[in-house]
Amino acid sequence: MQWIVIGAAGMLGQDVVARLEGEGRSVEALDRADLDITDTGACDRLLRGADVVVNCAAWTAVDLAEEREAEAFAVNATGAANLARSASSVGARLVQISTDYVFDGSARTPYAADAPQNPATAYGRTKAAGEWAVAALGSRHLIMRTAYLYGAGGVCFPRTIVKLAAERGGLDVVDDQHGQPTWTVDVADLVLRAVDAEVPGGVYHATSQGSASWFEFAAEAVAAAGMDRGLVRPTTSEAFVRPAPRPAYSVLDHGSLRAVGVEPIGAWQERWSKAAGSVLAATRH
């Protein structure tokens, strides 16, 4: 089986490639310099021979997307559509990585995979449009939403918090936004497990179980670095007004995974405990 990973140089893409290579699977790693996913012809050429395509490429500059939505749409929606169409044409399965931002964050209980979308940001609108396109262009394609990602291969929240806490002697972190801190290694593992299990096409949630506020996650990050939890202080979103509003509640339900016999990622605290050493290693150098 031939795998192609798009966005292979990103934090998640690196771990997907590493997992595939670690299992001795045939994988081609493509990044922006190798493939412009907004180019239909290029997608057709480079996806020939693929059996599974994992699209980790995305415009993720959430605030900048408010000013440049057309550019974000080109990558997150048009690019996803191109990959879905090209994959379908050669009988390949696309795994489209998506986001909690397709929801507005107003819920009080975890969002089911089939919950109505209502994105409140330009970024969320473009990712939702990408989901619609992928679903329309291939019934076997998988849409895997994730959130609050951290990993060893890129800029991520816990490393940034530890760095800033050390530099500033403390910092304020919002305590009124809740989600599911999720390790990229675990998302990579879930992608492989879902594909290997030949789950039906549809939407699945690739996040850890449980939930935490950004403040709660920050406190765990500084503690894992051997620092005083008191270096992080709780505050509200009103103190950090940004161009794009962040979801107040973006906890995702895992029922669609369980329904097809696939175990979700474990509890976020347990997974963070396992991940912390490797994820924070770069902070200490």
Query: DSSP assignment of 29-42, as one string?
Result: EE-TTT--TT-HHH
Q: Distance between CA atoms of 120 and 128, rounded to whole angstroms?
A: 11
| Inter-CA distances, 64 with 128, 149, 214, Å | 17, 19, 21
Report the amino acid identity of residue 272: W
**Hey, what's the torsion of the CAs at 46, 123, 98, 9, to 10 degrees?**
50
Q: Which listed residue (101, 111, 123, 150) is catalytic? A: 123
| Inter-CA distances, 263 with 14, 75, 251, 257, Å | 23, 31, 17, 7
Q: Distance between CA atoms of 180 and 247, rounded to whole angstroms?
A: 12
Per the structure block, which two tokens stand in for 47? 């996806």
Q: What is the DSSP letter of 206?
A: -
Closest by alpha carbon to 127, among 79, 84, 95? 79
Residue 148 annotated to the active site: no
Catalytic residues: 123
